[in-house]
Amino acid sequence: MSALATADGGPVALTSRTPHVPADRLVAEMVPPPRFGGARFENYIPAPEQPSQAEAVRVLGGFAQGLGGGGGGGRRRWFRREREARPSAGAGPRGVYLDGGYGVGKTHLLASLWHATPAAPEQKAFGTFVELTNLVGALGFQQTVRTLGGHRLLCIDEFELDDPGDTVLVSTLLGKLVEAGVALAATSNTLPGRLGEGRFAAADFLREIQGLSAHFRALRIDGEDYRHRGLPQAPAPYGDATVTRAAHATPGASLDAFPALLDHLSKVHPSRYGAMCGGITAVCLTGVEPVPDQSTALRLVVLADRLYDREVPVLASGRPFDELFSEEMLRGGYRKKYFRAISRLTALARDAKPLAEG
């Protein structure tokens, strides 16, 4: 991976980065991303008019405390106790599933659960669905089971329902992990064009996770996108000269032409987008335009997620972010992903405003 500046001291181009991520690093980095490093139940602010949000905090807090091993018996001893307790029908769920629209704080709550679970960091894992499938690809199925089977908790953010092969793979993996005593928590990417704003996402999720439905308690979290509650609209796109000047004036910034970046994303596996953005302090893009097709759009969604996780501001020229996806895309099966990407890029554009004014 290239350095954070070119030889002449200018900004690096993301298009010059094709990172390789070793398998051991994939495991070590399965923790909440920087944006959610400080996420706690105490600093999640439920909307007063949405009682389901406060209820989710209560239920998840109790779930976390229920995962405490107590004493000094060690990891495997804890799992033996869990296996002995689970046959009771009243023992409670071994997993929680957070169902709700984009921007209601599901990832914040999932990260809060990870932090609140009384276990050492190496005994709990947090990652997106894409990161989990990539781990299986890097380690192999059996080694992934052995590696994650030594954990108390596995949190899966943005569980995907649009790739049947990967979904069945992860379904099988989760079955093995439940047998090993691992507790599960997940949020999902539903297909609202088919399911109706995710209202039936829980049922869809539980059908896909074959044989695991008895282990999950589904929590519906209602509300509006918190990123836009009472906040001003994102700034309009800037001119190319402003974006270029800001990129050169901001240490650690990247500078890319948007079409070239979209082309580069097709050559890097989405699981490596986070590493591709490693160390970048701001992403500067010129010539933003609507994405040409759905495959490109879905890759851009993943990049937006990784930038948002890492709190990397995005300064752009060209078209505004709410014009990235066509009306057909926004009506289609993946529209929830596209709306989430617009929401997150809008928040990052707002964060980048000081760079343009500096």
> Which amino acid is present at 67?
L
Based on C-alpha coordinates, what's the Rg of the chain? 21
Query: What is the signed CA dihedral for 185, 190, 195, 198, rounded to 10 degrees?
Result: 60
Three-class SS of residue 104? coil
277, 310 Cβ separation under 8 angstroms: yes
92 and 220 in one domain? Answer: yes
* Adjacent-strand bridge partners of 160: 189
Give the residue from 36, 35, 27, 4 showing the smallest Cα distance to 17.
Answer: 4
Give 50's Cβ-side CA count (13 Å radius).
18
What's the pLDDT score for residue 358? Answer: 72
Q: What phi and psi values does residue 165 have, to the nearest 5 degrees? A: -65, -50
- CA-wise closest residue to 323 among 215, 222, 236: 236
111 and 216 in a single domain? The answer is: yes
Number of Cβ within 10 Å of residue 213's Cβ equals: 17
Helix (H, G, I), strand (E, B) or coil at 218: strand
Contacts of 58 (CB under 8 A, 6+ apart): none
One domain for residues 99 and 242: no
Predicted model pTM: 0.78
Q: Are 100 and 185 found together in one domain?
A: yes
pLDDT value at position 96? Answer: 92
Q: 127 vs 31, 107, 159, 194, 298, CA distance in Å?
A: 7, 10, 10, 26, 18
* Co-location of 189 and 143 in the same domain: yes
Domain that holds residue 39: 32-227
**Which residues of the chain fall short of a pLDDT of 70?**
1-9, 69-93, 161-163, 189-214, 225-234
The CA–CA distances, whole Å, from 118 to 28, 96, 104, 127 equal: 18, 17, 25, 18
Sheet holding 253-257, edge to edge: 253-257, 282-288, 314-318
For residue 310, CA distances in Å to 11, 40, 111, 196 come to 18, 17, 14, 30
The last residue of one of the domains, among 199, 227, 255, is 227
Dihedral sign for Cα 243, 245, 251, 253, please.
Answer: positive
The span from the CA of 197 to the CA of 320, in Å, is 24
Contact predicate 270/299, CB 8 Å: yes
* Per-residue pLDDT tens over the stretch 73-98: 333 332 333 333 333 333 456 899 89
Q: How far is it, in rounded angstroms, from Cα 171 to Cα 184? A: 12
Asked if 295 and 352 sit in the same domain, the reply is yes
First to last CA, the chain: 29
pLDDT at 86: 38
Can you tell me the distance from the alpha carbon of 358 to that of 341, in angstroms, rounded to the nearest whole number? 26
| Res 246: pLDDT | 97
Q: Which two tokens stand for residue 335?
A: 């529209």
Same domain, 209 and 266: no
Domain for residue 132, yes or no?
A: yes
Last residue of a domain, one of 201, 227, 253: 227
Do 61 and 186 have their domain in common? Answer: yes
Q: Would 314 be classed as within a structural domain?
A: yes
Please tell me the total count of domains within the chain: 2
Per-residue pLDDT, 138: 84
Q: Do 98 and 144 share a domain, yes or no?
A: yes
Q: Has residue 5 been placed in a domain?
A: no
pLDDT at 124: 95
128 φ/ψ angles, rounded to the nearest 5 degrees = -80, 165
Q: Is residue 233 part of a domain?
A: no
Alpha helix (H) residue ranges in 215-317: 240-249, 258-265, 273-276, 294-309
| Strands 124-128 and 95-100, sheet pairing | unpaired
What are 221's strand-pairing partners? 100
pLDDT at 1: 41
